[in-house]
Amino acid sequence: MLDTDAWWRDAVIYQVYPRSFADSDGDGMGDLPGITGRLQHLQELGIDAVWLSPFYPSPQHDAGYDVADYRGVDPRFGELGDADKLIAEAHGRGIKVIVDLVPNHTSSEHAWFQAALAAGPGSPERERYIFRSSGEEPPNSWKSVFGGSAWERLPDGDWYLHLFDVSQPDLNWDNPEVRAEFLDVLRFWLDRGVDGFRVDVAHGLVKEANLTDWTTTSTILGGLDPAGPPPPMWDQEGVHEIYQSWRRVLDEYPGGRILVAEAWVAPASRLARYVRPDEMHQAFNFPYLDAPWRPAELRAVIDETLEANDAVGATTTWVLSNHDVVRHASRLGFPVGTPRMPGIGAEDPQPDAALGLRRARAATLLMLGLPGSAYLYQGEELGLPEHTTMPDEFREDPAWERSGHAERGRDGCRVPLPWEADAPSYGFGPTDASWLPQPATWAEYALDRQQGVPGSTWELYRTALSLRREHGLGRGSVVWQEGAFAFRNGDVLVLTNFGSEAVELPSGARLLVSSEPLDGDGRIPTDVTVWAAL
């Protein structure tokens, strides 16, 4: 008998970006009632849980990752009662609910930061954040992930740290008030029935005590060398004590409540420390997302992450797209080896749409054949590409703004979903309003154009998720096969053809599902993944 409290070990979890999923009131912004109204879609797809990106009160300088109140719902998205209805309706359909938690920083409009500004230098209120007095120059050389200095000077002479946007001051996790506050926030949402938390920037809460200079070009990894010590702002030892205290809280609640780390940490053995038995349950597998469409690199990432997580008794997660990266239906349409976030604006080289979708379908079937938990990003089940030619005047991403428009930004993967080809805003809402413009070509991706259509991307996902559950692939293991890129997971062979020539199915294998039709003689074409029963 399966342990239902360990549901997460093989779960398929679907990320909902609330701004862009469904708009119930026609204002052009997605909302919680809109999500509730579309839960049938997720139930029919066959997912186990939803992860909701932030819906808390926020000035929205970073699309809700600048939280002003951790215990409420932004009026743009509804009210607290709408969150309760969403949780209850999802549970009624057998879907777990995971919410985003942003503990590294608050909004500059959070009551705590406003109190710190009013109280002045040296006050207890400022001890909740990382303030320093250092004269005319910043306290150190740290850079913001979004570009520029990570320090902002106030008129009173104090500087405050913001590893992201200037409107996102970093909290001081050495302060006991901060620790107590977040334990209370956890209980607030657990008491309302949520099944877990995706923890934003989980590797960033604790900073090296002396704020040592770090001159390497800043990224979410801070220029991390996997062979060397972590940068002074990332992956410090103190984060583990915090998550151990959080785990004790979650373990008080029934039903298998979980913590999921967004931790950009390398190598895999170091990331696995976040998912030891007394810490988090899962950590996103970004090296897999970053891996190029080449068999050697993919196999190396699969082997390394499985080995590292097996060593601590943890499950492995797999993910191909999310709200921060180019959708894989476009990313894989570039030549192999193109960086994860290429500059793809109107003047930049464009992905090959047909090749990108072909490879994306193959990559998804490969990912879903692996043991562990899989994360899907809203719209990938429709085959949605990146909006690569969005006019600059519509972009809202602060990473794009602070980089001086040198970076692509993340708006292209956040465009509202197309549900109905011939409806206003493609069925996103009851009007033509859409907070980001939807490409004219998206009618062909709309859900109502794909439901019941053999071979559509929607039907491929639905079939794959059903077979994954039927054959227990999430709780299986990888046994590599000789020859082509193929592994056995239980009674299923997962084979991806990366070569230039079509390949044969093994003798006696029975085809279960294929990312594209087989050749006329039954061979597997290039850039195609199949599952076959052995």
Q: Nearest to residue 115, comparing CAs of 106, 105, 99, 126?
A: 126
Query: In terms of residues, how long is the chain?
Result: 534
Strands in 353-460 per DSSP E: 373-377
Dist CA 275 CA 371 (whole Å): 16
Active site residue 200: yes
Map tokens 């899907």 to a residue: 376
Dist CA 520 CA 534 (whole Å): 22
Helices (H) and strands (E) in the chain, counts: 14, 16
Beta bridge partners of 99: 52, 197
Q: Sheet of 196-199: strands edge to edge?
A: 282-283, 258-261, 196-199, 96-101, 49-52, 12-16, 373-377, 317-319
For residue 363, give every residue at least 6 positions away whose Cβ sits within 8 Å of its Cβ, in sequence order, or none: 293, 320, 328, 332, 529
| Residue from 252, 393, 501, 521 carrying the catalytic annotation | 252
Residue 162 near residue 105, CB atoms below 8 Å = yes
For residue 85, give every residue at least 6 positions away whose Cβ sits within 8 Å of its Cβ, in sequence order, or none: 32, 33, 36
**Token output for 479:** 């046994």
Q: Nearest to residue 200, comparing CAs of 174, 220, 172?
A: 220
Q: Output the DSSP codes for 450-492.
A: TTT-TT-HHHHHHHHHHHHHHTTGGG---EE-SSSEEEEETTE
Q: Strand 317-319 vs strand 373-377: parallel, antiparallel, or unpaired? A: parallel
Burial, 286: exposed, middle or buried (Cβ in 10 Å; 0-12, 13-18, 19+)?
Answer: buried
Which amino acid, 27?
A: D
Residue 379 near residue 436, CB atoms below 8 Å = no
Active site residue 444: no
Dist CA 323 CA 411 (whole Å): 8
Phi, psi at residue 13, to the nearest 5°? -115, 130
Q: Which helix (H) or strand (E) holds 96?
A: strand 96-101
For residue 3, give every residue at least 6 positions away whose Cβ sits within 8 Å of its Cβ, in sequence order, or none: none
Dist CA 231 CA 222 (whole Å): 6
Dist CA 228 CA 214 (whole Å): 14
| Residue from 31, 48, 200, 397 carrying the catalytic annotation | 200
Beta bridge partners of 8: none
**Token output for 47:** 């997912």
How many CB atoms neighbour CB 209 within 10 A? Answer: 10
Dist CA 528 CA 418 (whole Å): 26
Active site residues: 200, 252
